[in-house]
Amino acid sequence: MKIFCIGRNYALHAKELGNAIPESPVVFMKPATALLKNNMPFFYPEFSAAIEFEAELVLKVAKNGKHIQAKFAKDYYDEITVGIDFTARDLQSKLKEKGLPWELAKAFDQSAVLGEFITVNQLKNKEAIPFSLHKNGSKVQEGNSQDVLFSFDELICFISQYFTLQAGDLIYTGTPAGVAKIAIGEKYEGFLEDKKVFECEIK
């Protein structure tokens, strides 16, 4: 199982971090040990003082494929949820300054919160999927799939040019604007449309 993550897929998020708008998808990966499922708590790591949340829509790949054409892309995902890409922003900034890879800041243990999946056919509007993240009961981030720079189908096509997609692979499709630091004692809840798909306490 592979975890693909897409950076800078919402223009306002790229802007808030001072990043250029990409001309093609920005792809990085996390190992399976990054997954945090079943509403388990997140334990704040000692190596960072600035962990930030990034709420994202997450696709589950439905079947194997390589060099997938756009007209077939929708056949390769049929389940979706909301997750969090936890980012050690202080560490990431240091790595970027030196031109080094991001893995230490993005792929550490428990850095990929994953919610309960629902089938795409259950969505009210497949072309405009709202999602949100709540902290201690208050909404702190929200987005909509219609605002992405690269659609789900485009991501499937692009990623499959370089990697064979396999059933069960995950694609974190990017975060909208509004990322912020987390703190011990906070409780986060992710919503897909109006359905809560995960909760995660910071310890």
Q: 23: part of which helix (H) or strand (E)?
A: none
Rounded to two decimals, the pTM is 0.95
Residue 8 lies in a domain: yes
Residue 55 lies in a domain: yes
Residue 44 lies in a domain: no
Residue 150 lies in a domain: yes
Residue 186 lies in a domain: yes
Residue 170 lies in a domain: yes
- In terms of residue numbers, what domain contains 140? 3-38+49-201
Q: Which neighbouring-strand residues pair with 42?
A: 202
Report which of 54, 56, 60, 61 is spatially closest to residue 80, judged by C-alpha positions: 60
Residue 17 lies in a domain: yes
Residues in the chain: 203
Parts of the chain with a pLDDT under 50:
none
Nearest-angstrom CA–CA distance, 50 and 53: 10
- Strand segments, DSSP code E, in 23-76 are 26-30, 35-36, 51-53, 55-61
Q: What is the pLDDT of residue 17?
A: 60
Q: What is the pLDDT of residue 152?
A: 97
- Number of domains within the chain: 1
Residue 43 lies in a domain: no
Q: What is the pLDDT of residue 21?
A: 76
CATH value at residue 193: 3.90.850.10
What radius of gyration, in Å, describes the C-alpha atoms of the chain? 16
Q: What is the pLDDT of residue 22?
A: 82
User: Half-sphere exposure of residue 156, counting CA atoms within 13 Å on the CB side?
Assistant: 24
Nearest-angstrom CA–CA distance, 176 and 132: 10
